[in-house]
A and B are shown apart, each in its own frame.
Chain A
Amino acid sequence: MAVVEMKRIHVYALKNNRKKILEMLQRRAVVEVDTPEEASLGEAKGPFSKTDTASARLTFEKNVQLIGSAVETLDSYAPPQKSMLAMLEGRTGVNAHQVQQTAEAAPEVAKIAANIVALGKRVNDQQAEIARLEAQLEALKPWMGLDISMRTVGTNSTSVFIGTFPEELTAGEIKTRLAAALPDVPGVEAEVVSTQPQQTCAFIVCLGRVGSKVEAALRGMGFTYPAAPSKKPPAQRAEDLQARIAAAQKDIEDAGREIASYAGRRQELLFTSDYYSMRANKYQVLGDLWQSPHVFYLTGYVAAPRAPALQRELEEKYQAFVEVETPAEGEELPIQLQNGFFAAPVEGVIEGYSLPGKHEVDPSKVMCVFYYVLFGMMLSDAAYGFLISLCTGIVLLKFKNIEESLRKTMRMFFFCGLSTMFWGVLFGSYFGDAIDVVANTFFGANIHVQPLWFAPLEQPMRLMLFSFLLGIIHLFAGLAMQIYQLCRRGKYLDALYDSGFWYMLVGGLIIALVSLDMFQEMMGLSLAIPPIVTTIALVFAAIGAVGIVATSGRESRGVKRFLKGLYGLYGVSSWLSDILSYSRLLALGLATGVIAQVFNMLGTMAGGGPVGVALFIVVFLIGHVLNLLINLLGAYVHTNRLQYVEFFGKFYEGGGRKFEPFAAKTKYFKITEE
């Protein structure tokens, strides 16, 4: 149960050491900087003030973004080779020397990033240009038959009209209609360039002196001029457009090639991005420091075990003045959990709920045992457990550099897998009843794998009782945690009132219930509980009940206190539902086994021949992978639920704040000490 003890550290140092000290702290990642607000300092502030580093930070963050989009562009031209397991490999470590090199090269790399981004933009612009040109080309298509400029309006003595009618017309029809509209105008010539449904592109020529009359008549027929007439003959214009499109395409290719030529510098770019985010982190802290002309003051939290070494290093190497003190009673301390090999993996589960609040202990050590046991019981298949442990075990052995949180999750499932194996053997489930089925169908042998304990499907009542028993142990463990927490704060009476009485009441009632003949008959039990034990249990239950009524409302007075006490006793119903809730151990355990059986049976539908074997293998693989995944999910969710709702409900509220030390919050690389 280890919530790491926190100390407050005060560092006063000369400004000429500021850079070195901050960089050292950032690499070590052991101090959470927590600077007092101006108001709380008051008169003590003296010549100290804060520096505004917001603009510098913004520049760094902009660079991070710039490089981010550069890498994105780069990746679309030269996709990096990523293996499926990249996630497991973790970030590559880099040392201080490499960081120094990056710092020197950073401006140049930022320029490359800017160049890549500019090239990416050029590609986008050219693509838009191509789309525009292609639209023009499309508009020109109906006019391809025309061999003069589309802007021709006539010669000295003729007028020319080039445009479209909103219907399908032939040259003859145009002429007939014009003649009908202008019976006294001779010599109008019409030529159709192209027709499409609802559009006719036409060329009309007439004598110059009747031009305006003809134009008016044409308008009456719905004639319009094209929106963008080309100066050159359409065919020539189309060639020009094609050439421009080709040029744009070549430009895109060139830009693409240039972008791809930076592929070798991807690492450098990512590295520089990390470098800039590191500097942004640093400047954020820098802006938080109180500084006088020559001195700066840094304060924050440090884990107690790390404090002496840090103090020595700061004092000896950087001539700083360091004070380490125990934080004041009222301070809201950040929480860091520390647990051993077996319990640490469930820290993530606790964090998913909430970190321990003030006065609360770290429940990891108690919780992990129950977590593994309950999980195993819900999945309860030896083969599935073996597969889980095998996969996570291989990952843990092979990928040493895996991220810490992922490593913990893997280890958690490794232990869950072991527990699943254990329960699977007890209940005699190996891929459901696969061994029996295979032996029976393909070898004609009548094998039946005997469970080490009993088969849940044959005796569900027995497993249910056992589930309730586990539940009661789990809940009582939660109650014990409550007692421990209260006693640690010296509240012995509260421990008795809020937990002790419940032990008596619930424990007594359970023993009394079990000793009933009716209950034993119903559950098929034969326990000989002597009557005296039953009587003692009932007496205890009565004391518990009276105690609860008397003390639950102890903050109030008079009748209100009595009513609150009665309401407290009503809490016994929540105990009932809490215990019943553990029946999900039975339900989920059966679900795994039965579905596995269903798949095994489906697999044997084609009998024992070669076809049957093939079918069995296919159904077996697909079915069991599916079943494993679904029940893995179910077991995970419901184990969490039993921990969060039933177990934590007895003693744990959470609300702690996570310890977040000043560190290099990098995305792609890990900064190492050496």
Chain B
Amino acid sequence: MFDWTTMGIVFALLGAVLAALMGGIGSAIGVGMTGQAAAGVVTEDPSQFGKVLILQLLPGTQGIYGLLIGFVTLTQIGVLGGSSDISLAKGLLYLAACLPMAIVGMVSAKWQAKAAVSSISLVAKRPDQFGKSMIFPAMVETYAVLALLISILAITSIGSIQV
């Protein structure tokens, strides 16, 4: 007999996995795009390697945030040792809490990568403008940071809710 009430841990794990998964996918796409642009610049001017490398790595943080959320969720739901007795409602709560990071992480990584690619071409043409070029992609990241914030606040507080 299938028992819905035992499914809490499944949903909770699904949330953790989604955060790491989608953040990772977004960052992989993003860092790939910026890497191509960066390699193009280095063929023309190898001395720009340091600068374009920094710009390449900018969309990489969403994957890390995703990992962070995934890891914190795993520790909270007891998959990494401890009690993994999660009610269905709690499991769904964890899933919902992970979604901001998962979705915003994936989308913002891709768009941040587009901004970073433009910034890389900016640095190729005007290496002295590196300071400013870094800011445009960092603007996009703000929203990944906000999503991370909401996800982490939610995940760390769910434990004390009685449902």
Measured CB to CB, the residues of A under 8 A from B are 349, 351-353, 457, 460-461, 464, 580-581, 583-584, 586-588, 590-591, 594-595, 597-598, 601, 630, 633-634, 637-638, 640-641, 644-645
Contact assessment for B131 and A349 in the assembled complex, using a CB-CB cutoff below 8 Å: yes
Docked-complex contact B145 and A587, CB < 8 angstroms: yes
Q: Which of A586, A591, A597, A637 contacts B64 (CB 8 A)?
A: A591
Q: Are B132 and A645 in contact (CB under 8 A)?
A: no
> Across the interface, which residues of B come within 8 angstroms of A460, CB to CB?
152-153, 156
A-side contacts of B54, CB under 8 Å: 633, 637
A595 engages B67 (CB within 8 Å):
yes
Complex interface: chain A residues within 8 A of B72 (CB): 457, 594
Q: Are A587 and B148 in contact (CB under 8 A)?
A: yes
A587 B131 Cβ-Cβ under 8 A: no
Taking the nearest CB of chain B, how far is it from the CB of A655, in angstroms?
Answer: 13
Contact A637/B80 with A351-B131, A595-B64 known, Cβ cut-off 8 Å = no
Partner of A590, one of B132, B139, B152: B152
As a 0/1 sequence over residues 64 to 77 of chain B, the CB contacts with chain A under 8 angstroms (1 = contact) are: 11011001100000
Q: How far is the CA of A461 from the CA of B132 in the complex (A)?
A: 32
B-chain residues with CB within 8 Å of residue A586 when the two chains form the complex: 149
Asked if B60 CB lies within 8 Å of chain A CBs, one says yes
Q: How far is the CA of A548 from the CA of B120 in the complex (A)?
A: 40
Decide yes or no whether B88 CB sits under 8 A from chain A.
Answer: no
Cα distance, A457 to B71, chains bound together (Å):
12
Which of B57, B139, B141, B152 is the one whose CB lies under 8 Å from A630? B57
Which residues of chain B are within 8 angstroms of A644 by Cβ–Cβ distance? Answer: 131-132, 135
- Contact A641/B68 with A583-B145, A630-B57, A633-B57 known, Cβ cut-off 8 Å: no
Q: Which residues of A contact B152 (CB under 8 A)?
A: 460, 587, 590
> What is the minimal beta-carbon distance from A377 to any residue of chain B, in angstroms?
14
Contacts of B10 in A (CB 8 A): none
Chain B 136-159, CB-CB to A under 8 Å as 1, else 0, gives 001101100110110011001000
A601/B68 contact (C-beta < 8 A), A353-B132, A583-B146 known: no
A–B pairs, 12, beta carbons within 8 Å: A353-B132, A587-B149, A590-B152, A591-B64, A591-B68, A594-B68, A595-B64, A597-B71, A630-B57, A640-B135, A641-B138, A644-B132
Question: Would you give the shortest CB distance from B35 to chain A, in whole angstroms?
Answer: 15
Is B111's beta carbon under 8 Å from chain A? no
A576 to B127, CA, bound (A): 34
Q: A591-B64, A630-B64, A634-B61 are in contact. Are A645 and B149 (CB under 8 A)?
A: no
Interface string of B17-49 (1 = CB under 8 A from A): 000000000000000000000000000000000
- In the complex the two chains form, what is the Cα distance from A586 to B148 in whole Å? 10
A-B contact count (CB 8 A): 72
Residue with the highest number of chain B CB atoms closer than 10 Å, among A630, A634, A637: A637
- Flag if A594 contacts B71 (CB, 8 Å): yes
Q: A587-B145, A598-B67, A630-B60 are in contact. List 19 more A-B contacts (CB 8 A).
A: A351-B131, A460-B156, A581-B142, A583-B145, A583-B149, A586-B149, A587-B148, A588-B145, A590-B68, A591-B61, A591-B64, A594-B68, A595-B67, A633-B57, A637-B58, A637-B134, A640-B134, A641-B135, A645-B135
B148 nearest CB neighbor, chain A only: A587
Q: What is the minimal beta-carbon distance from B154 to any residue of chain A, in angstroms?
A: 10
B153, A464: Cβ atoms closer than 8 Å? yes
Q: Which residues of B contact A (CB under 8 A)?
A: 54, 57-58, 60-61, 64-65, 67-68, 71-72, 80, 130-132, 134-135, 138-139, 141-142, 145-146, 148-149, 152-153, 156
Cα distance, A329 to B57, chains bound together (Å): 46
Q: How far is the CB of B78 from chain A (nearest CB, A)?
A: 15
Instruction: Give me the 3 closest cross-chain CB pairs, A-B, nearest first.
Output: A352-B131, A641-B138, A584-B145
Write out the residue numbers on chain B whose beta carbons fall within 8 Å of the beta carbon of A634. 61
Q: How far is the CB of B146 from chain A (nearest CB, A)?
A: 7
**Complexed CA–CA distance, A591 and B27 (Å):** 15
Closest to B69 in A: A594
The chain A residue with its CB closest to the CB of B149 is A583
In the complex, the answer to whether A645 meets B68 with C-beta atoms within 8 Å is no
Complex alpha-carbon distance, A215 and B57, angstroms: 72
Complex CA gap A583/B65 in Å reads: 14
Partner of B131, one of A353, A457, A584, A594: A353
Contacts of B71 in A (CB 8 A): 594, 597-598
The answer to whether A645 and B146 have CB atoms under 8 Å apart is: no
User: B135 to nearest A CB, angstroms?
Assistant: 5
State how many angstroms separate the Cβ of B17 from the closest Cβ of chain A.
15
Q: Which residue of A lies closest to B155 (CB)?
A: A460
Contact residues in B for A598 (Cβ distance below 8 Å): 67, 71
In the bound assembly, the distance between CA atoms of A353 and B134 in angstroms comes to 10
CA distance A633 to B141 in the complex (A): 14
Provide the residues of chain B in CB contact with A597, threshold 8 Å: 71
Question: Do A591 and B65 form a contact, CB below 8 Å, given A637-B54, A637-B134, A637-B138?
Answer: yes
A353 to B138, CA, bound (A): 14
Task: Assess whether A352 is in contact with B64, with CB atoms less than 8 Å apart.
Answer: no
**CA separation between A645 and B132, bound complex, in Å?**
10
List residues of chain A with CB within 8 A of the CB of B64: 591, 595, 630
Q: List, in ascending order, chain B residues with CB within 8 A of A351's CB.
A: 131
Q: Cβ of B132: which chain A residues have Cβ within 8 Å of it?
A: 352-353, 644
A305 to chain B: closest CB distance in Å? 27
Q: How far is the CB of B76 from chain A (nearest CB, A)?
A: 10
- With both beta carbons as reference points, the residue of chain B lying nearest to A601 in the complex is identified as B80
B68 near A584: Cβ-Cβ < 8 Å: no
* Alpha-carbon separation in the docked complex, A581 to B58 (Å): 17
Task: Give the contacting residue for A587; candidates B65, B67, B130, B135; CB below 8 A.
Answer: B65
Instruction: Give every chain B residue within 8 A of A587 (Cβ-Cβ).
Output: 65, 145, 148-149, 152
Nearest residue (CB) in A for B53 is A633
B97 to chain A, nearest CB (A): 13
Residues of B close to A637: CB separation below 8 A:
54, 58, 134, 138
**Measured CA separation A351–B148 after assembly (Å):** 32
Q: Report which residue of B71, B72, B80, B135 has the largest number of chain A beta carbons within 10 angstroms of its beta carbon.
A: B135
Contacting residues, chain A, for B148 (C-beta < 8 A): 587
Question: Using Cβ atoms and an 8 Å threshold, which residues of chain B touch A353?
Answer: 131-132
Chain A residues within an 8 Å CB radius of B134: 637, 640-641
A352 CA / B64 CA spacing, docked (Å)? 27
Q: Which residues of A contact B61 (CB under 8 A)?
A: 591, 630, 634
Closest to B144 in A: A587
| Bound-state Cα–Cα, A601 to B71, Å | 11
A584 touches B153 (CB 8 A): no
List the B residue with the shortest CB-CB distance to A627: B64
Q: How far is the CB of A216 from chain B (nearest CB, A)?
A: 57
From the candidates B135, B141, B149, name the one contacting A464 in the complex (CB within 8 A): B149
Q: How far is the CA of A587 from the CA of B141 in the complex (A)?
A: 11
Q: What is the chain A residue whose CB lies nearest that of B129? A: A352
CA distance A588 to B148 in the complex (A): 10
Shortest distance between the CB of B16 and any CB in chain A (Å)? 13
CA distance A594 to B146 in the complex (A): 17
Q: How far is the CA of A352 from the CA of B131 in the complex (A)?
A: 4
- Knowing A351-B131, A586-B149, A590-B152 touch, does A595 contact B142 (C-beta < 8 A)? no
On chain A, the residues within 8 Å of B67 by CB distance are 594-595, 598
B18 to chain A, nearest CB (A): 17
Looking at the complex, which one of A352, A464, A583, A595 makes contact with B68 (CB distance below 8 Å)? Answer: A595
Residue with the greatest number of chain B CB neighbours at <10 A, chosen from A457, A461, A583, A601 = A583
A351 to B130, CA, bound (A): 10
Q: How far is the CB of B141 from chain A (nearest CB, A)?
A: 8
Residues of B with C-beta under 8 A to A638: 138, 141
C-alpha gap A584/B146 in the complex (Å): 8
- Residues on B with beta carbons closer than 8 Å to the beta carbon of A630: 57, 60-61, 64
